[in-house]
Amino acid sequence: MRQSFWASAALQVRLLTRQPDSVAPLLVTPLYAIALFGFLHHSGKSSVGSSVFVASILMTLWSTVVFVGADMVDDDRHEGVLELVEASGTGYLTFLAGRIATAAALTSPAIVFVSLLAWLFGVRVPVHSPAVLVLDVLGSWACCVGVGIALACLLAMSRSARNYQNVLTYPFYVLGGILVAPSALPAHLGAVAPVVFLSHSAAAARAGLTGTGPQWAPLGWLYLLAVLHFGIAVLAVRYVRRRLKVLGTASYA
Partner 1 sequence: MSVETEGLGRIFRVARDKPPVLALQDVTLSIPAGSTHGLLGPNGAGKTTLTRILATLLVPTSGHARVDGADVVSEAERAKARLGLVLGGERGLYSRLTARENVRLWASLNGLSRAAARRRTDESLDRVHLDPTSWDRRTEGFSRGMLQRVHLARALVTAPAVLLLDEPTSGLDPIAAYEFRALVRELRERGTTMLLTTHDLAEAEALCDEVSVLHRGVIVAHGTPAQLRRALGDQLVVEAPSAGPAHADRLAGIAARHDAVLEWDNTTARLTCADERVAGQVVTELVAAGLVQLTSRTPSLEETYRSLLSGDGAYR
Minimum distance from residue 138 beta carbon to partner 1 (Å): 26
Sign of CA dihedral 170, 176, 182, 188: positive
The whole-angstrom separation of Cα 232 and Cα 244 is 18
For partner 1, which residue of 31, 120, 195, 247 counts as binding (CB under 8 A)? 247
For partner 1, which residue of 224, 234, 244, 251 counts as binding (CB under 8 A)? 244
Q: Which window, 37-45, 79-87, 138-146, 147-155, contacts partner 1 (CB under 8 A)? A: 79-87
Minimum distance from residue 75 beta carbon to partner 1 (Å): 8
For partner 1, which residue of 11, 111, 125, 224 counts as binding (CB under 8 A)? 11
CA distances from 170 to 58, 60, 82, 208, 241 (A): 12, 12, 29, 25, 30
Q: Which window, 86-94, 112-120, 173-181, 215-223, contacts partner 1 (CB under 8 A)? A: 86-94
Quick one: angle between helices 2-18 and 49-79, nearest 10? 100
Query: One symbol per residue from 16 to 45: x for binding partner 1 (CB under 8 A), - otherwise; what is it?
Result: --xx--------------------------
Within 8 A by CB and 6+ apart from 115, the residues are: 53, 125
For partner 1, which residue of 21, 80, 186, 253 counts as binding (CB under 8 A)? 80
Rg of the chain over all Cα atoms, to the nearest angstrom: 19
80 dihedral zone (left: phi>0; alpha: psi -120 to 50; beta): left
For partner 1, which residue of 44, 87, 186, 188 counts as binding (CB under 8 A)? 87
Query: Applying CB under 8 A, what is the total number of residues that bind partner 1?
Result: 30
How many CA atoms lie within 13 Å of 6's alpha carbon, on the beta-carbon side?
A: 2
Contact in structure between 141 and 104 (CB atoms under 8 Å): yes
Chain positions contacting partner 1, by CB under 8 A: 1, 3-4, 6-8, 10-11, 14-15, 18-19, 78-81, 83-90, 95, 244-248
